[in-house]
A and B are shown apart, each in its own frame.
Chain A
């Protein structure tokens, strides 16, 4: 899996994670590689599930937050982890653990949206906007935070299918081959969805007066 290199803009988050790591004995004791962690969970080693959770919580929760919005993100992330723990004993390692986890998380998010639609509850694509707004509101008001909020809002305006591909590729940094496995589609479909989504995203941002230079300075 393509792992995003640390970004200067995320230095604060990285530092916080490092401190959290020191304070999290379960994580600190967890096996360094996914294969050993999977084996540990399969054996039922104490704390192994928690270690797996901490390793993937931000990716799973972030994905849920951006697909279903803040109101349902916790419920969806919980459902995703239940599916992960339930399915792990049968996980054969045909795909990378991260790819498999993303697949379960995306499925949990999309089936949640379908259930909500089936129950005639409002499926509000802009819930994600509300959630990200809430997070951004806690940050110091500044150019970067405002731009991130605008970008998150624009993401929330995309149809769920487009949004999922953009989040997986551009935000999470996955390759199209992995996205195709996660979404059970062809690589070409993943690519065309991404390019259509980006074009629409660009149009939304441009309509809001967000320029390339503003985004580059984010």
Chain B
């Protein structure tokens, strides 16, 4: 439909009639429009439509935002408020433990290579009776010591993050605290299981890797919880 069909009178455009409606025209022009409206049904209809339109707009609802909006706002605001050194501290906590794990992994690989080498020379190994008299493998001892050292570094990092978390948790809802405790219990169980496997086969790189992965998962979860508050993501337990 053409504009002219919608408003067949060309005397006053819709915007002037809207201004007339709100009292925004100068007095002389307002009087002129007023006089015109008496004899022009088309302009009177447009004016009525404009008035009805403004009224209908005023009755439109203010929509309710999704319930997730506050959580997103709060999380983003906290990230913005966090002092730079605190982010650095979280990074440093993870980095220290990570460095210890790297050294253990390297040692584990060396030990694994050493074990393969030993297996290849098994044909010339001394008989069992003599084996007891053979001095303990120094590389194995070193691997065990490094494992304990790395585990201690992880534990220390976890302890630091736990203390940060304890300061944050009182601000969470009971439900958020319960979910966090449940997730931590799962992670602790995974660590205990991996630690037992690593204890049974010292120097086995696969078992120590699994233990470090469990530690890292707990550190990541704690850092996430400290960082994001009660809105931490629920990482899959078997990740």
Contacts and interface: CB of A to CB of B under 8 A. Distances in A.
Interface of A: 4, 7, 9-10, 13, 46, 49-50, 53-54, 57-62, 65, 73-74, 77-78, 81-82, 85-86, 135, 147-148, 151-152, 155, 166, 170-171, 173, 191-192, 194-196, 198-203, 205-207, 211-216, 218
Given A194-B18, A203-B7, A151 B60 contact: yes
Nearest to A216: B52
Interface string B46-82: 1011111111111111111110111011101100100
B45 interface: yes
A198 B166 CA distance: 56
Contacts of A53: 70, 73
B70 A198 contact: no
B13 interface: yes
B14 interface: yes
B19 interface: yes
Interface of B: 1, 3, 6-7, 13-19, 22, 24, 45-46, 48-66, 68-70, 72-74, 76-77, 80, 171
Contacts of B54: 170, 198
Given A53-B70, A212-B52, 16 more contacts: A9-B59, A57-B70, A58-B63, A62-B62, A65-B63, A74-B72, A78-B76, A155-B57, A195-B16, A195-B19, A199-B13, A202-B46, A202-B49, A202-B50, A206-B6, A207-B6
Given A49-B77, A195-B16, A203-B6, A77 B60 contact: no
Nearest to A188: B24
Contacts of B6: 202-203, 206-207
Contacts of B45: 212
Contact of B59 (A7, A46, A155, A203): A7
Contacts of A46: 171
A78 B72 contact: yes
A214 B48 CA distance: 11
A151 B57 contact: yes
A197 to B, nearest CB: 9
B64 A58 contact: yes
A85 B76 CA distance: 10
Contacts of B48: 212
A173 B58 CA distance: 7
A155 B66 CA distance: 22
Nearest to A49: B77
A78 B62 contact: no
Nearest to B65: A61
B61 to A, nearest CB: 6
- What are the 5 A-B residue pairs with the smallest beta carbon separation, nearest first? A199-B14, A215-B52, A170-B57, A61-B65, A195-B18
A191 B19 contact: yes
Contacts of B19: 191-192, 195
Contacts of A65: 63
A50 B55 contact: no
Nearest to A81: B73
Contacts of A49: 74, 77
A24 to B, nearest CB: 11
Contacts of B51: 212
Contacts of A214: 52
Contact of A202 (B14, B63, B65): B14
B15 A198 contact: yes
Nearest to A139: B61
Given A194-B18, A212-B48, A61 B69 contact: yes
